[in-house]
Amino acid sequence: MKGENISPRDLEWRCGRCGLNLQPTLVTVEYLGSEFTAELPCCPGCGLVLVSEEVALGKMNEVEQILEDK
C-alpha cells in the first residue's frame, strides 16, 4: 500500500495541533488483531495521521471485509 494512498491534495493539509505540513509516512494500522503498514499523510511533529475518505471507504474497507470474513 505504498504511495497509492496519498493524493497531492492530502499533502496540502496542515496539522491542527502543530501547524506543520503533513508528509508521506509509513504507519502501522491495526484491525481485529491484524497489522499492516501503509503510507499515509502524517504530521512530522505529533504523528497525527490523516486517513482520507477515499482511503477509508476504499482500501481500508476492502481489508476490513477480508479480515471480518476470516
Q: Give the pLDDT score at 46.
A: 96
If pLDDT is split at 50, 70 and 90, which confidence band does 11 have?
confident
Domain ranges for the chain: 8-69
Q: Which residues contact 17 (CB under 8 A, 6 or more apart)?
A: 43, 45, 46, 48
Residue 67 clears pLDDT 70, i.e. is over it: no
Distances (CA, A) of 7 to 34, 40, 48, 54: 26, 10, 17, 10
- List pLDDT tens digits, range 30-49: 877 778 888 999 999 999 99
> What CATH architecture does domain 8-69 belong to?
Roll (3.10)
> What is the chain's mean pLDDT, rounded?
81
CA atoms within 13 A on the CB side of 27: 18
**Mind listing the pLDDT tens digit for each residue in 17-32?**
999 999 999 999 887 7
